Amino acid sequence: MTETAPVRTAFCAKQPPRAHPRPEGQDHYTISEVAAHTGLTAYTLRWYERIGLMPYVGRSHTGQRRFRNSDLDWLAFVGKLRLTGMPVADMVRYAELLREGEHTFEERQELLESTRRDVRKRIAELQDTLAVLDYKIDFYADARRASERA
């Protein structure tokens, strides 16, 4: 159990203001609470920790995980990144940068900017796709209207 010190270093501290308070107001949650809240399974949460995707999760005096609000913030962020299709390995890289402290601000910013470029590209692609779908849906709608009139 040779843990490195609980670094919990200054990372981009805040999420944009959240609308919804967390389940129970306190700042510690068991793994099953977090699972219920995030929709991830406890297995997945432990796996995230194993592969270094969590920036250190605290433990109770008996060794149970105690997730904090900052962990939920992080998981929400990871969820967003996941939606972009970012590979887990890249997220792990970002998590590493967090653990390494403030001197990685530049690299973190670059990583996020590159991700942002990807996301913008994906949005553009999807909007393209949307145009095609609109076109085809109109085609079918027209064709069916025409055949009804016939």
Binding residues (CB under 7 A) for DNA: these are 30-33, 40-44, 46-47, 50, 59-65, 82, 87-89
- Torsion angle defined by CA atoms of residues 50, 55, 61 and 65, in that order, rounded to the nearest 10 degrees: -50
- Binders of a second copy among residues 48 to 107 (CB under 8 A) are 77, 80-81, 83-84, 102, 105-106
Residue with tokens 């920036």: 55
Q: Which does 64 bind (CB under 5 to 8 A by kind): a second copy, DNA, none?
A: DNA
> If binding is defined by CB under 8 A, does position 108 make contact with a second copy?
yes
Q: How far is the CB of 34 from DNA (least distance, A)?
A: 8
Q: Closest Cα to residue 47, out of 92, 12, 96?
A: 92
> If binding is defined by CB under 8 A, does position 18 make contact with a second copy?
no
Beta strands 65-66 and 58-59, pairing class:
antiparallel
